Amino acid sequence: MSEENQFIDRKSLRKVTGQTADWKELAKDCVCFANARGGSILIGIEDGASGPPAGQIIPWDLPGKIHKRIGELTVNVTVAAEIKIAPNKAEHIELRVLKSHSAASTTDGHYYMRISDNCKPLVGDDIQRLLNERSAQPWETLTAIKITHDRIDQAKLAAFVAGIRRSSRIKESVKEKTDKELLDHYHMVEGPVLTNLGVLLLCGSTERAKLATAPVVQFIKYDEQDEKVNKIVWDDYSLSPVELITAVWQSIPDFRETYEVSLGLFRQQLAAFDEKVVRELLVNAMVHRPYTQRGDIFLNLYPDRLEVVNPGPLPIGVTPQNILHASQRRNDGLARVFHDLQLMEREGSGFDLMYDRLLSAGRPVPTIIEAYDSVRVTISRRIVKPGIIRLLNEIDQRFQLKQRERITLGLLAQTEGLTARDLTRKLELMSPDNLEPWLGRLVDLDIVKSTGRTNAKRYFVPPDLLAEAGVSLKTTLQRIEPHRLAELVLEDIRRYPDTRIGEIHKRVGKEISRSMLKRTLAALVQSGRIRLEGIRGGVKYRLPG
């Protein structure tokens, strides 16, 4: 059985039978899936179980009852319930929820969306964004401007068809279709006219300009004083989004600049900007922008960074805090074309790739800032710690690290170490319990070590590994051993009796976590080496006697 994720949830059979039935909760979960990408709710499988319990039999009329109740409790939700038999011969229900092309809600007016493996309520502006993005018919399939087949640019059509037929992601049955059948397959035509998607990808400048929201790209270069020194604009609508990506990359020589860095005894030429990262940023700008909203795509190049500014906010359900894991496509048809032409990674993995490439090159991860009408993604040009490149290359060659392991190792190598809570936040995970697949084999292979426990547990790359790779980090007390911290605290209290924890924290070092300091003080009190007086905020510490 698959684990719970964005597309799969599990529910106990008690949720739909007997006195414990909670139909409103199930209706809420169905709305969540309908407003996201659709999915399946496996009813009759307990959380944490790999399948239904042996001997479980589903009443024959229960799927029909579920279908009826969900229809009564939701709006714009389509479901199909079916009894499934597991390998152990036990039964469960698979409740399939289709993606809704209109905003789905419960009948009492509440909106929800499935984000990762959680159901989140939508409130305020999020509801309006959902309503705007879920019109009765997607923008891509509209045919309002009535452009017929004879307006197709044959060179663009030939390039599209050739790209599809040589793609390794396409089934042979699709490759064998005629050109006309391929256009139908990708929803680029409807009868004698082209859809908006067809006009966007296959027509010339005159027709594309009629869409009003076809992408325009502006590249602006700034000097050290933030003065504009160069500007290139693609605003004549002659290029499709597919063609724009290559044109932008090839037209800006700054992207292909290199510089030399010292890696131990060797010197290496490194690109100022990773081509895969820049292309992925451009793909995101083309595929995930709202085509119902006007606005240019800006590439602002500064001496130390590149900013890509895209019109419109992030897709509903995606935030700067969960962008590494959330997967919500705004333009399904365009995303499908880009994926099948091998211009973008599989769904939901674009930012994984960027994190991996940037961290492996000793650069910080991208920063994302969302405004009410735009999204700004910034990547650094400069390498923070060149030695990290050597470190990751050597370890990767030796152990063939997985992408998640490389990302985690890159994050830890750039710091003195991170607590489980801090690492969870940087990886945009729900809780420290989700760290295991990201740490992978790093701890077992002694590539990463840890100290402490629970949320204050600290992960770090051993100093000897960093030193061998030529990575020099500032010496701090973050990894101080517990017995050494205890002696440091005792000496502080000896010098400053009747002192509060905040005062101790300032003197021994802010880099030591407060939770670690609290545990040390509690252990010293319990052993009788210090004593406390007062309660709550008035607690003070002193030596006994």
Q: Are 417 and 459 in contact (CB under 8 A)?
A: yes
C-alpha span between 218 and 235 (Å, rounded): 8
CATH topology of domain 482-542: Arc Repressor Mutant, subunit A (1.10.10)
Residue 87 backbone dihedrals phi, psi, to 5 degrees: -55, -30
pLDDT for residue 305: 93
CATH for 218-344 is 3.30.565.60
CATH topology of domain 387-467: Arc Repressor Mutant, subunit A (1.10.10)
C-alpha neighbours within 13 Å on the C-beta side of residue 46: 6
C-alpha span between 237 and 243 (Å, rounded): 11
pLDDT for residue 351: 83
C-alpha span between 23 and 71 (Å, rounded): 11
Residues pairing with 541 in the sheet? 499, 532
- Domains 8-133 and 218-344 agree in fold: no
- Return the CA Rg of the chain: 28
Residues pairing with 217 in the sheet? 234, 297
Within 104-176, residue ranges assigned H as helices are: 125-133, 154-166, 172-175
Q: Give whole-number Cα distances, 400 to 20, 404, 406, 442, in Å.
A: 49, 12, 9, 11
Q: pLDDT tens, position by position, for the chain (545 residues)? A: 556 777 889 999 999 998 889 999 999 999 999 988 889 999 998 877 878 998 999 999 999 999 999 989 999 899 999 999 988 899 999 999 998 878 889 998 899 988 877 888 988 777 877 877 766 568 898 887 889 999 999 999 999 999 999 999 999 999 999 999 999 999 999 999 999 999 999 999 999 999 988 999 999 999 999 999 999 999 999 999 999 999 999 999 998 888 776 655 566 777 889 999 999 999 989 998 888 888 899 999 999 999 999 998 887 777 788 787 766 677 889 999 999 999 987 655 678 888 899 888 888 889 999 887 889 999 998 877 777 888 888 888 888 999 999 999 999 988 878 888 888 888 888 778 888 999 999 999 999 988 877 666 889 888 778 776 666 555 666 667 777 888 888 988 888 888 888 888 888 887 777 877 888 888 898 898 888 888 777 888 988 87
Nearest residue to 316 via CA among 4, 28, 34, 25: 34
Instruction: Provide the whole-model pTM.
Output: 0.72
pLDDT for residue 477: 65
Domain ranges in the chain? Answer: 8-133, 140-209, 218-344, 387-467, 482-542
Superfamily per CATH, domain 8-133: Schlafen, AAA domain (3.30.950.30)
Residues pairing with 268 in the sheet? 261
pLDDT for residue 349: 62
Nearest residue to 383 via CA among 244, 505, 263, 490: 263
With both helix axes pointing from N to C terminus, report the angle between 241-251 and 275-287 in degrees, rounded to the nearest 10: 150
Nearest residue to 40 via CA among 52, 53, 26, 54: 26
